A and B are shown apart, each in its own frame.
Chain A
Amino acid sequence: MAFATRTSESTTYRQNRGPLRPDIVLVLTYLTLSAIGLLMIYSATAPGLLAAGDDPAQQLKEQAIFMVIGFIVFTVVSSIDLTEVRGFIGPIYVVVIGMLVLVLTPVGDSQGIAQRWIDLGPIQFQPSELAKIAVILMLASILASSDVPLHWRTVARALVIVGVPSLLIFAQPDLGTMLVFAFVLLAMLFVGGSTIRQLGFLFVATAVGTVGVFKMDLIKEYQINRLTAFIDPGAHELSLSYNQVQSEIAIGSGGLLGKGLFEGTQTNLRFVPVQSSDFIFTAVGEQFGFVGSIIVIALFGVLLFRLLAIAGSARDRFGSLVATGIAAMFAFHVFVNIGMTIRIMPVTGLPLPFMSAGGTVFVAMSAALGLAHSVWMRRSVAPGDRRRG
């Protein structure tokens, strides 16, 4: 790997800057959310696997393996000094775009109704998860090297950077990821120093564009359903409203304190489809009730608070913007995913970070968190350093 040769140099750099101090709160929150996720995945999948005569811990084990990989990736990425690898961001972005194109070709694996996987023999992965990271890095890079307030030219470049992968992802189709891009773009431009006028323009453009997409496809309603639907490969195709109705019943019936671990009827009797991935929050809501739900949301709140703190204490604009973008991405995922399970958001197929079952997602999210953590570990030690761009 190209990064490996750089490791010794960054070690030298770090020694010059002082000791690396991990963000204990961030890491603990990350591990706690992952552990809760693992438990919820087990509670949601065990009854089905048991009924099928399989090992009830089968999916727990698979997810645990991905989590271990995720932790390693987090640790590795945390140890990379981002300023040292800025030169690679462009090529990485181009490679990811290439992968997105590849997904649309026959090489891409179509599972369920969307074509978004690349099959690499024993491993399959979704390039759109990598695309989120690549886009954040790319945006941070160009915004960090621009003047403040931003030129319209810079805004235009940012739009192109987001636009190209958006179009490719739209073709998959994966509306959820597109919306993530839009939100991340707005958040990063806002924090990165755009004028209010520019933001206003983008906001209106996004709104018009979104409405336009829906209007165009309103003629064929099933296409909207497809766009708004993310159904995990392998699951039965069931009506969207059925998903949400059952998910709502599961969470609502949890009550204040929940039905207790492994006592959820909706969960145990598998009324909620694709529960372990997109609808994992229903397992929390039903088994642990309002209190449990608020605790999970609060944990995400702590995580996001830490990410914003990292953005605020980064030693340079680039690191600050990376942390901002990652915070925005997580925030959007959490809001849209939980919102979907309680019927205030459409079904878009955005996973709940660190909790939803899924390998690529967990590893990619861990990598993203690792990027932000890397910024924290190399935050400004002296006020003078913060001025460097």
Chain B
Amino acid sequence: MTNPVRLGVLGLVIIAFFAVLGLRLWTMQVTEAQAYEDRALSNQVRIVTTPAPRGDIFDANGVKLAGTRSALAAIVDLALVDKDDRESLAQNLAAFLDTPASEVAELFEASNQGLQITIAEDLSDAQATFLLEHRESFPGVNVVPQPIRTYPLGELGAHVIGYIGRPNAEDLEREDVKGNDFVGKAGVERSYDQLLRGTEGIVEYRVDAKRKVLALESEETPTAGGNLILTIDADVQSQLQSSLRDGLIQARRLEMEERREALSDTSIPQLLAEGLERERAEAAEAAAARSEADGTTSTTGDDQESDSGSRGATPEPINIEAIDVLGALYPGLPLDTNGVCVPVQRLTIPLGGQIVLSGVEPRTVRFDAVEEVGGRFLATVTVENETESVKNNQSFASTLQVLDISEERVILYHRDKWCPVRTVGVVENPNDGSIIAMASYPDFDPTAFVDGLSQAQWDELGTVSAFQNFAVQGLYAPASTFKTLPYVLALEESYYPLDRGVGDKEVGGETAAPSEPDDAGSDTGEDVVEPEPDADPVIEPLLTDTDEYSCTGEFKFQLNDGTVQTKRDWKWPGGHGPLDLHGALQASCDLYFWDIALRLWNERSDESGIDKENLLQEYARGFGFGTATGIDLPFERDGLVPDRAWFKAEQREGSPRVRADGSWVGGDLMDFAVGQGATLTTPLQMANSLAAMVNGGTVWTPRVVDEVVDQDGNVITENPPLVARTMDLDPRTGRMLLADLQQVVNNQDRGTARSAFQNFGPGVELIGGKTGTSEIIKAPRAQHYKQVDSAFFVGVAPITNPEWVVSVVVERGGSGGRVAAPVARQVFQFLMNGEAGVTELAPGLDAD
């Protein structure tokens, strides 16, 4: 018979089993019930968001620069697709999209179940109809409206407008940003992102397990983003961009001329000369082919047309063939298709192949062999006659860097450090700080970012930092354009001309001086005397022959510690002759401004109680140098105003920017006075500081957005002109400065910009400006010593009542008078005389 005890044990085992069930049910249904309830609730709700249309961007005159087009996208909701159907769906989609099925399958794999995947964007009507009519072949596929960003004028204003893209980790920290949104990445698209985006619509549905919609729970319609009204004038912007582009090409041509001259001196084979002939012939052929292609595309209305169309709309004053500045290197030549140098190249060389590098001397680089060592490739590369074994990321032959090595090819990065790399320009209204135009070239079409940048686009544009706005992100030693600062200081502090008060000087010309009130010391706005509107626009030269300083070109000076040093002017050997302060600015005599700095230095501990060692820095900071101007654009940089404190701090950190030993000396202050040394400014700071000097001392916070309006035109946010600070300037200072700047352009004996403005046309006497040339690198290269200069020009017009301040930089371009002033000249021609007044670009005389 069975054992009753054992039956009892079996009963206990069963009781134990059931106790486990009971305990677990207790925890689930009593202790943690709330958490499960929440999960059950979230199970049933499905949130569908509708993107809000992004706000448009208009220029000051209502020209649309960025808009939104309504397109259709195909999305797949995998939760609606049975597993068995996935493969066939992937195949159908692949056939529909004309991509390999594996790619679609990968997309499916990569996504979580329940996530909606965008399969195709910007469908044509026919495609959308096809998808909808063949639902049975495309289960779970839906066609939804999708706003697509458009930039109707392409490159126009690209650096101000910026671009949009998918959010990165930092963007995703924002509460209103989701992974598949677009956010502004640069320009006003970034700085005004919040206002542009609007509020997305949120619809909550109740769904069942198959995600079938059962009921609408709540619905919030999307609110469109605000429209930006910029201060930019599209016409001026267009002229600025076209002038910057032509200016860069001109600078590169001039560089190539120099190189050819240098090469003909040596025994290097006439590779260049011969090649140039060949290249020119082929370039002409290519240009012909291109214009033919343009003709056909314009009739078919292809997408590419918009690009050439916008180009075509801009005036083409100079006779340079159709241009593709960053085009492929010409085979066998260190030139691009324009026959000019290439500042940055990404070279792919097949094994056994060779390529000629852009450079002062053409050098050949050859990829000889490759070997694998410890899982990494080592490439044997020959540059001219020197063979080297290189690995990834290695820099070699002074200008080359390895990007990637494989068995078939090597990818190299090459810099031609002497090739002009970019041009930057800013046009600002000195009366309210509005930016009328701003650009750097190479530029880009923001449309490229809408679909995501291709590798080819990145190679072409990313390597030359085309996406960065160098007007606010570029840092340059301002060179002689900076001399306006010690000029203003000298007048304001009654410091120069030597031992004479400013009031003694005859200033402002005959038209202004008589109307000057007696209480000239007052600095209120009403008291600033404006030139009479109907006054003779011709400005009297302010030159006097008194208080001259003999500018010999060589400056021997004694510091108050007794040491004697020598500094040389840019014109040395040779000098400017006898000059006073005004003449010194017009001729850009370094010595005169060094002398100002030297006097500041030598009197730094005098009885006056003024901190003269830092006085010039104070003026610089006052006019906005050394700190970001606060313009409503992202990534703006501060620049640098060097002083003793900075010098010490850098030295402590072992920075290569300062001497390892010694302290801040008079020579450093003298370098600073002429915008050299460690001084760094942005092109915007150059324009904005000049604006303050000529408008009576108002330092504006520049702005590119005037206001933000809603879809009905009601103002949402105003961005009125904002005064950063006011400099207490004697009204005569500004007038005197304007008169001298006018001479820089108009004085036919010594004005450094005179030749650049020679054929300006009517109104040249209303233009003032200052050239500058910063010496970046003086590097020994083979037998040559070659100086790499960056060219600057800041200008103002009309000097009787300034409306525009222009600053132009040609990075590594040469001298300011030669390459930068002509670019500014075209912009001023456009501003003063309209499109018809713009004349062909030509290099000016080589002058600082």
Bound pair (A, B):
yes
Count of chain A to chain B residue pairs whose CB atoms are closer than 8 Å in the complex: 137
Chain A residues closer than 8 Å to B4, beta-carbon distance? 312
Q: Is B208's beta carbon under 8 Å from chain A?
A: yes
Q: Contact: B36 with A324, CB < 8 Å?
A: no
Q: Contact: B43 with A266, CB < 8 Å?
A: yes
Q: Contact: B30 with A290, CB < 8 Å?
A: yes
Q: Is A202's beta carbon under 8 Å from chain B?
A: no
Q: Please measure, in the bound complex, the distance between the C-alpha atom of A344 and the C-alpha atom of B2, giving whole angstroms.
A: 33
Q: Please measure, in the bound complex, the distance between the C-alpha atom of A236 and the C-alpha atom of B210, giving whole angstroms.
A: 11
Q: Is A357's beta carbon under 8 Å from chain B?
A: no
Q: Contact: B2 with A269, CB < 8 Å?
A: no
Interface residue from A266, A311, A334 paired with B7 (Cβ < 8 Å) = A311
Residue of A nearest to B26 (CB): A290
Residue of B nearest to A386 (CB): B1
Q: Is A191's beta carbon under 8 Å from chain B?
A: yes
Interface of chain B residues 1 through 45 with chain A (CB within 8 A): 1-4, 6-7, 9-11, 14-15, 17-18, 20-22, 24-26, 28-30, 32-33, 35-37, 39-41, 43-44
Q: Contact: A297 with B22, CB < 8 Å?
A: yes
Q: Contact: B40 with A255, CB < 8 Å?
A: no
Q: Is B209's beta carbon under 8 Å from chain A?
A: yes
Chain A 310-331: CB-based contact to B (< 8 A → 1; otherwise 0): 0110101100110010011001
Give the Cβ gap from B670 to chain A, nearest Cβ, in Å: 76
Q: Contact: B30 with A255, CB < 8 Å?
A: yes
Q: Is B97's beta carbon under 8 Å from chain A?
A: no
Q: Is A363's beta carbon under 8 Å from chain B?
A: no
Q: Contact: B44 with A265, CB < 8 Å?
A: yes
Q: Please measure, in the bound complex, the distance between the C-alpha atom of A316 and the C-alpha atom of B82, giving whole angstroms.
A: 56
- Please judge, given known A-B contacts A251-B28, A255-B30, A301-B18, whether A270 and B210 are in contact too, CB under 8 Å: yes
- Please judge, given known A-B contacts A252-B28, A252-B29, whether A328 and B10 are in contact too, CB under 8 Å: yes
Q: Is A248's beta carbon under 8 Å from chain B?
A: yes
Q: Please measure, in the bound complex, the distance between the C-alpha atom of A250 and the C-alpha atom of B29, giving whole angstroms.
A: 10
The segment from A81-89, A205-213, A335-343 that touches chain B is: A335-343
Q: Contact: A270 with B208, CB < 8 Å?
A: yes
Q: Contact: A252 with B83, CB < 8 Å?
A: no
Q: Please measure, in the bound complex, the distance between the C-alpha atom of A308 and the C-alpha atom of B11, giving whole angstroms.
A: 7
Q: Contact: A293 with B10, CB < 8 Å?
A: no
Q: Contact: A236 with B44, CB < 8 Å?
A: no
Chain B residues closer than 8 Å to A51, beta-carbon distance? 208
Chain B residues closer than 8 Å to A314, beta-carbon distance? 2
- Please judge, given known A-B contacts A249-B43, A342-B28, whether A294 and B22 are in contact too, CB under 8 Å: yes
Interface residue from B3, B24, B209 paired with A342 (Cβ < 8 Å) = B24
Q: Contact: B7 with A248, CB < 8 Å?
A: no
Interface residue from A248, A255, A387, A389 paired with B37 (Cβ < 8 Å) = A255
Chain A residues closer than 8 Å to B25, beta-carbon distance? 251, 285, 290, 293-294, 297, 342
Q: Is B214's beta carbon under 8 Å from chain A?
A: yes
Q: Contact: A271 with B43, CB < 8 Å?
A: yes
Q: Contact: A193 with B39, CB < 8 Å?
A: no
Chain B residues closer than 8 Å to A311, beta-carbon distance? 2, 7
Interface of chain A residues 246 through 274 with chain B (CB within 8 A): 246, 248-256, 265-266, 269-273
Q: Contact: A324 with B7, CB < 8 Å?
A: yes
Give the Cβ gap from B11 to chain A, nearest Cβ, in Å: 5
Give the Cβ gap from B80 to chain A, nearest Cβ, in Å: 12
Q: Contact: B21 with A342, CB < 8 Å?
A: yes
Q: Is A66's beta carbon under 8 Å from chain B?
A: no
Chain A residues closer than 8 Å to B39, beta-carbon distance? 249, 252-253
Q: Contact: A191 with B2, CB < 8 Å?
A: yes
Q: Contact: B214 with A335, CB < 8 Å?
A: no
Q: Contact: A331 with B40, CB < 8 Å?
A: no
Interface residue from B3, B14, B32, B33 paired with A304 (Cβ < 8 Å) = B14
Chain A residues closer than 8 Å to B9, beta-carbon distance? 190
Q: Please measure, in the bound complex, the distance between the C-alpha atom of A328 and the C-alpha atom of B13, giving whole angstroms.
A: 10
Residue from the set A290, A344, A386 with the largest chain B CB neighbour count within 10 Å: A290
Chain B residues closer than 8 Å to A312, beta-carbon distance? 2, 4, 7
Chain B residues closer than 8 Å to A304, beta-carbon distance? 11, 14
Chain A residues closer than 8 Å to B32, beta-carbon distance? 252
Interface residue from A191, A294, A386 paired with B10 (Cβ < 8 Å) = A191
Give the Cβ gap from B83 to chain A, nearest Cβ, in Å: 6
Q: Contact: A297 with B28, CB < 8 Å?
A: no
Interface of chain B residues 203 through 231 with chain A (CB within 8 A): 207-210, 214
Q: Contact: B14 with A344, CB < 8 Å?
A: no
Q: Contact: A331 with B14, CB < 8 Å?
A: yes
Chain A residues closer than 8 Å to B36, beta-carbon distance? 248-249, 251-253
* A and B contact pairs by CB, cutoff 8 A, 20 listed: A251-B29, A252-B29, A253-B36, A256-B33, A269-B207, A269-B209, A269-B214, A270-B210, A271-B43, A297-B18, A297-B21, A301-B15, A304-B14, A312-B2, A312-B7, A327-B10, A327-B14, A331-B14, A342-B28, A386-B1
Q: A253-B33, A269-B214, A335-B21 are in contact. List 15 more A-B contacts (CB 8 A).
A: A191-B10, A193-B3, A248-B28, A252-B37, A256-B29, A269-B209, A290-B26, A290-B30, A301-B15, A308-B7, A317-B1, A317-B2, A335-B18, A342-B28, A389-B1
